Amino acid sequence: MINRDELVQIGQFGKPHGIKGEITFLFNDAMADLIRHPLFLICEIDGIFVPFRIENYRIISNSAAYIQLKNISSDREARILANKEVFSPKKNLEKNIEDDSFTWDYFIGFTLRDERLGKIGRIVDVDTTTINTLFIVERENVIAGLTRNLMTNEEILIPAVEDFILRIDENREELVVALPEGLVG
């Protein structure tokens, strides 16, 4: 059983967003870096603290995100959580502060997709040898020939910048970004 003294409030749910169970999650600016990659959020329901697994989320500002929780698949179900306080275990936050355990390597194997251009390729490595961290993305190209098409792979470098990230879909292993125009040709 989860006890209140083991938790710290990190935000509050707002209203449902859409009809598929997404809900607005409002959080304190000071907590933003600590909650960018949580696995679970905890709410108090009928006096019991209940953990909810995060399936997907989209950051919409420095203090808000749209969250899709496992087993919450309609706006009716999401309304039950509306305006409820959201908690995280203190030990998780303390660990994140001490270890700074999140790294860009987490995204190796993810598909990189731009909101305008569509699929860019698969993240195969991360380069941290320069001042700016870069995703190394393997991109498939089709070269049209007279008698057949030839598939070639090329590696391109994409800056790993948190501000470019629109959403992370862990189930699909997909990173959706908004890249500056002209960055990918």
Where in the chain are the domains? 4-99, 104-177
What lies within 8 Å, CB to CB, of 64 at 6+ separation is 14, 24, 25, 26, 27
Q: Which residue has tokens 């020939």?
A: 145
Q: How far apart are CA 87 and CA 40, in angstroms?
A: 9
Q: How far apart are CA 100 and CA 170, in angstroms?
A: 20
Average pLDDT over residues 33-62: 80
The pLDDT tens digits of the residues spanning 68-117 come to 999 999 999 999 999 999 988 776 654 443 444 457 877 888 899 999 99
What lies within 8 Å, CB to CB, of 129 at 6+ separation is none
Which amino acid does the sequence have at 98? E
CB 7 within 8 A of CB 90: yes
pTM: predicted TM-score of the whole model, two decimal places: 0.50
CATH 3.20.20.70 matches 104-177: no
Q: Do domains 4-99 and 104-177 have the same CATH topology?
A: no
- Name the architecture of domain 4-99: Beta Barrel (2.40)
Band (120; pLDDT cuts 50, 70, 90): very high
Q: How far apart are CA 124 and CA 99, in angstroms?
A: 24
What lies within 8 Å, CB to CB, of 98 at 6+ separation is none
